[in-house]
Amino acid sequence: MLDTILLNEPLARREAPPAYSFEPCSGERRLELTPRHGHTPLTGSIIKRFAMLSLVLPEQEDGAQIPSYGRNGVIDGVFCFDDPSRIIKVMIKLHGKAETTTTESGANTKCLLNDQYTLWQKNNVDESSCPNQLNFACALPSTYSEGNGAKPLPPSFHFAIPGFSIKIHYCILVQITLKRRSKLDFSSSVKEYPVLFKYWPRSRPNRPFEATPCFLFSVKTLPEEWHQTISSLKTRSNELARETLHCHFFVPSIRIFGLSDTIPFHVQLDGPISSLREFFPPDILQRVTSADSSLSAPSVRPKSAGRKSEGKQHSVRAQLLQQIVVMVGSCKVVKNSTVGEGVVHPLPPSLYRDRCLGTTEETLDWEGFVKCNDDVKVGSFSTGLLQVQHFLSLSLTPLDVRRSPFQVLNIHVPVKLVTDSYEDYG
């Protein structure tokens, strides 16, 4: 309650908080504890040294060089001044901007955050000088003004390729007003010291998804856990053939995943045997020797993440795609990039599937998983200037694209990526 009152005061200044220990001290005991997996107290500190002051920012990760804060976070710390006798005023300004540069729309800037707080000010000549140490606390807003409403404050983000650049950045600007040494002192009386910080609001899925080892059993007993997308392969004439192939793409129905989640999927391709043979060359698609056996799925070697494709394209490929959309007036610029490469395995025919001699229809199945690359730190978000959205992409490519009568099939399922997994919260 006390911190709330202090943060609402026009002077964002507070006294040092009492000492706190995460573990019970001598003579103390826990009355109740609900542990949260994966989140330990932050015990590191970041110290920024400038010409006339030092800034200490506690509760940071050990070894971090740039401070980071989450949703509704509080930027608190301590100023240590070398010569406080000359200080007349101490202010903190919080700045946030979204900057986009594209060859189509040029450079544009959107202000996201512009708050300022006066920490200390000398009101008259008789007042004592600024203290050697000055504690402060500034609360970050969770929204910013957009048109007639408010939108969530977007996270720190940076993406750049030739002709296309996106940067969302935040900064603490320390402003010190000094008393001049003499009338002949023409140096600037206002000193400014910027400190960049990262804003990473955390979020998680609203429920877990069940990753069962057997898809066929799961889709029958828990069909609501899977989202199905059906698409038909088109021929080179851009029309659906009478004996076409149908692809069924199954992903968890929640479609909200943490950046560290392993996302399972299932692919099913069915249609006439003659069409399957036209899509897959004979050396890839082979029949088992017995007359009533099914077609065996192509043995697709998965492409490992971060490694370039070698040789021919894979016939079945799954990826996580990131799409950035920049809107400036009537100009819309879209850029796609791959942020995760899937692993695909063929499945043998089901032992419980009905077999009939002379059948003309067959089904091939694959299963796999995909997850974000380790360097992805920001999930899906939207502002008035840009959108960052994600898709789970499936592509079926004939190994002989020139001769195959079928076109490449691409399926894109929208998903939302968030910072944390559901399991991280216990």
CB 233 within 8 A of CB 279: yes
CB 287 within 8 A of CB 296: yes
Contacts of 365 (CB under 8 A, 6+ apart): 266, 267, 268, 269, 297, 346, 347, 350
The CATH code for residues 44-199 is 2.60.40.640
Chain segment 338-383, per-residue pLDDT in tens: 999 999 988 876 554 555 444 577 888 898 999 999 999 999 998 8
Chain segment 9-28, per-residue pLDDT in tens: 444 555 555 555 656 776 77
pLDDT, position 186: 59
pTM: 0.79
pLDDT, position 33: 61
Q: Candidates 1.20.120.140, 3.40.50.300, 2.60.40.640, 2.60.40.10; correct CATH number of 215-287+313-418?
A: 2.60.40.640
Q: C-alpha distances in angstroms, 116 versus 96, 140, 236, 257? A: 12, 11, 62, 36
CA 310: distance to chain centroid?
A: 29
Beta strands in 262-408 (DSSP E): 263-272, 316-328, 331-341, 343-347, 361-370, 381-382, 386-396
| Enclosing H/E stretch for 276 | helix 273-279
pLDDT, position 273: 83
- Please tell me the distance from the alpha carbon of residue 381 to that of residue 378, in angstroms, as a whole number: 9
pLDDT, position 85: 86
Residue 163 phi, psi (nearest 5):
80, 5
pLDDT, position 328: 81
Contacts of 328 (CB under 8 A, 6+ apart): 100, 102, 105, 106, 108, 385
- Please tell me the distance from the alpha carbon of residue 124 to that of residue 345, in angstroms, as a whole number: 77
Q: Where are the domains of the chain?
A: 44-199, 215-287+313-418
Residue 8 phi, psi (nearest 5):
-90, -10
pLDDT, position 398: 84
Tokens of 360: 């003309």
pLDDT, position 290: 30
pLDDT, position 363: 84
CB 11 within 8 A of CB 117: yes
Q: Which residues of the chain have pLDDT under 50?
A: 1-11, 287-294, 299-312, 352, 356-358
CA 119: distance to chain centroid?
A: 35
- Single-letter residue type at 145: S
Task: Examine domains 44-199 and 215-287+313-418 and report if their fold is the same.
Answer: yes
pLDDT, position 310: 41
